[in-house]
Amino acid sequence: MEQVFLKPLSADAYHINPTVSADLAIAVRWVLQIQQRYYRYRCAKALEFLGFKEECASQLLTDESAVGYGGIITILDDYIAAQPPLSLDSNIAQFGQLIGLSKLEVSIFRFVLIARAWRLVFSDVRASRYYATSNDVFELVAHCIKADADEVEVALMPSSTLALCNLVTMERGGDLADQFRSLRVFDKLFANDCNPNDLLQKFSHTADTPKLKPADFPHLADAVQLMQRLLSYALAERQTGVNFLLYGPPGTGKTELAQWLGYAVSQHVMGVSAFSGVDVHGAKSRLNALLMCQRLYAASGDRVLIFDEADDVIPSQVGITVGNNDALKMAINQLLETNATPCIWICNSIRHFDAAQLRRFNQIIKVDTPPQAVRQNIAEHYLADTGVSSSYIDALATDEHITPALLARLAQSHAAIQHTDTADKQRDFDLMLNPLLQARFGRRRRDASQTEINPAYYNTSVCMAELTRQFKQTPDLRLCLYGPPGTGKTSFAGYLAEQAQLPLVQKNASELLGSFVGETEKAIAEAFAEAEQAGAILLLDEVDTFLGKRQQAERHWQKTMTNELLAQLDQYQGALVCTTNFIEMLDPAAVRRFDFKIQLDYLTAAQAGQLFTELQQTSGLQVLLSPYQQQLATLKLTPADFAIIKRQMRVQPGDAISSDVIIQALAAEAQFRQPPTSALGFVH
């Protein structure tokens, strides 16, 4: 930085470097003003940095009357008055008017921008002791801008407009300028060509036009219609404190639904931007941007705001917050109660949200994975013109983890692979889908065509046709399927759902067990609610994980988990299928609540023989059963064993496959299921 004062011959002969800008001169005036008033802030180094000779600086420091300071400040005032009007002053005045800042708030904001721009000038503005409190800071700022120190303190509180909009925040620093922070984007207010309106637009953007329509959310029709009416009324009546919350798993269409709702009632739907210029917004900064948008659009009365990814913004019960302090919590409460522009908040989960915030929303809608019929419509909407087969679209719709967002991604990628044939295109789509599913859920996509269910290979005494008829006629039938692993319990439930033409909601332990107290119980309740809403059969796999005998429970949470599932069983009005390998481990109170307890046992000799001959045919071998019938009869085999051997044979050389090899492989699979035995005593 250039010297401000040039080669004086005496204290009266100081003149100012003509290259010094008006804002730098203002910053220097403030520094001298502070030294003039507060003796403890006088510093020879600061004066020498500005261009004063050592002798002159010493005279100023010892001048008790401060007459010398007054003369130099007058010189600065004359210099500033002779300069062209500062662009910052007009820009910041217009900016303050747009977002409703008071005159004092504009003055403080101006002080911070100039002080931060010329931090070197303030580098030695520090007391002989480190700032013990903020009182000195408020007093110094008030002296510079000719305001009351108490009013300055109020204007800089964490709950103030300056702080909440991220215009000015306070931090611990070594000198006066380092006590404040402001987004670098506001440095543009110094520019001659700055348009404050354009600057504010960086905190929001026009929301995209949605590709999905209400017809794609028939399972939420009543809630969506209500929210549309509430939004429309809020705009018409200029209501304040109107907020809505959409939550659910990623990719289920929350943002699309919010955009449609916004455009259904307004032509101006704005999204809060995730970044602004070079300032990447974290959780707190995005909240600041939302507050900025609320102030910006408060007077218009015709806009709807969409605030996406709100999970880390709303304070939580376990401290996952944007600061997690009382002032911020109170600020969010105040925002939810007083915001002038209706806002739709979007997040993935509300498990950790503070109840004090949740109760302040006008309406909360859970946007869960759509039912299969809805997924079918959405899949056809996105993929009908991509050239894939209808059977492939049907297969995607059967997988509940293939969300609308994933389908949209496939449709978006279609242009890059549109010249490939159907088989190659479906393979490319799988290459995109499977890694995503593997990363999130630990599995590839489900392909119903690869799992052919033949009821003839279920070893059960129940008549399959009669059971299917019961499912069609009795909407609240409850089954417990038990038996050894691999006997087809889970696929049996899928077969029943297919025959009854009902969707299947499948839940296993990894999806329901939570890390925190109460999470598992809540997930269990949500699973029952999801199935009931979709009119689906609920399948709880490996239910012994949740329904163990309470008298054998070692932890209190194990008992509460069983109690919650029993309570849900009593209230549930839909069809339920539970599977377990260990029915003897289930709580007796749970067992008696099932209408049928159906055992699926190992294959009979006839069933094993039939599957063996089918495997011989598939492998290109001569069908020859009689030499192997006795051995098959002695093995405890399941349909899963034959499915595994069939996959193994695919990677074997043709000349290495024989009926004897198949029998040996089946015997090995059966042996794996036997409990290991360990010898006791000495081995000779």
Tens-place pLDDT, residues 523-562: 888 888 888 877 888 998 888 877 777 665 556 666 777 8
CA 590/CA 569 separation, integer angstroms: 8
639 touches 487 (CB < 8 A) = yes
Residue 109's pLDDT band (cuts 50, 70, 90): very high
pLDDT for position 225: 94
504 touches 536 (CB < 8 A) = yes
Q: Which of 77-81, 233-237, 406-410, 672-676 has the lowest mean pLDDT?
A: 672-676
pLDDT for position 528: 87
User: pLDDT of 565-574, one tens digit each?
Assistant: 888 888 888 8
434 touches 443 (CB < 8 A) = no
Q: Which of 95-109, 239-253, 562-576 has the lowest mean pLDDT?
A: 562-576
Q: Which of 168-177, 345-354, 453-462, 588-597 has the lowest mean pLDDT?
A: 453-462
pLDDT, mean of residues 74-94: 91
Query: For the chain, what are the domain ranges?
Result: 2-81, 86-201, 204-315+324-366, 372-441, 455-599, 605-673
Residue 231's pLDDT band (cuts 50, 70, 90): very high
Q: Is the pLDDT of residue 660 over 50?
A: yes
pLDDT for position 319: 40
Q: Smallest Cα–Cα separation from 107: which of 62, 55, 142?
A: 142
Higher pLDDT, 281 or 418: 418
Q: Is the pLDDT of residue 105 over 90?
A: yes
User: pLDDT of 470-508, one tens digit each?
Assistant: 777 777 888 899 989 888 888 888 888 877 777 888 888
pLDDT for position 159: 76
Percent of the chain with pLDDT over 70: 87
pLDDT for position 627: 84
pLDDT for position 232: 95
Q: Is the pLDDT of residue 126 over 90?
A: no
Task: Return the structure tokens found at 130.
Answer: 């480190």
Backbone angles phi, psi at 170, to 5 degrees: -105, 140
pLDDT for position 277: 44
**Mean pLDDT over the full length of the chain:** 82
Q: Is the pLDDT of residue 323 over 60?
A: no
pLDDT for position 129: 47
pLDDT, mean of residues 284-305: 84
CA 308/CA 311 separation, integer angstroms: 9
Answer yes or no: CATH 3.90.1300.10 is held by domain 455-599: no
pLDDT, mean of residues 324-341: 77
Residues 6+ apart with CB under 8 A from 305: 204, 269, 270, 271, 272, 290, 293, 294, 297, 341, 342, 343, 344
Residue 676's pLDDT band (cuts 50, 70, 90): low
Q: Is 162 exposed, middle or buried (0-12, 13-18, 19+ CB in 10 A)?
A: buried
pLDDT, mean of residues 59-77: 77
Residue 131's pLDDT band (cuts 50, 70, 90): very low
Q: Can 204-315+324-366 and 455-599 be said to share one CATH topology?
A: yes
Architecture of domain 204-315+324-366: 3-Layer(aba) Sandwich (3.40)
User: pLDDT of 600-649, one tens digit each?
Assistant: 899 988 988 888 888 888 888 888 888 888 888 888 898 888 888 888 88
pLDDT, mean of residues 388-416: 85
541 Rama class: left (phi>0) / alpha (psi -120 to 50) / beta: beta
Q: Which of 305-309, 563-567, 613-617, 648-652 has the lowest mean pLDDT?
A: 648-652
CA 675/CA 6 separation, integer angstroms: 94
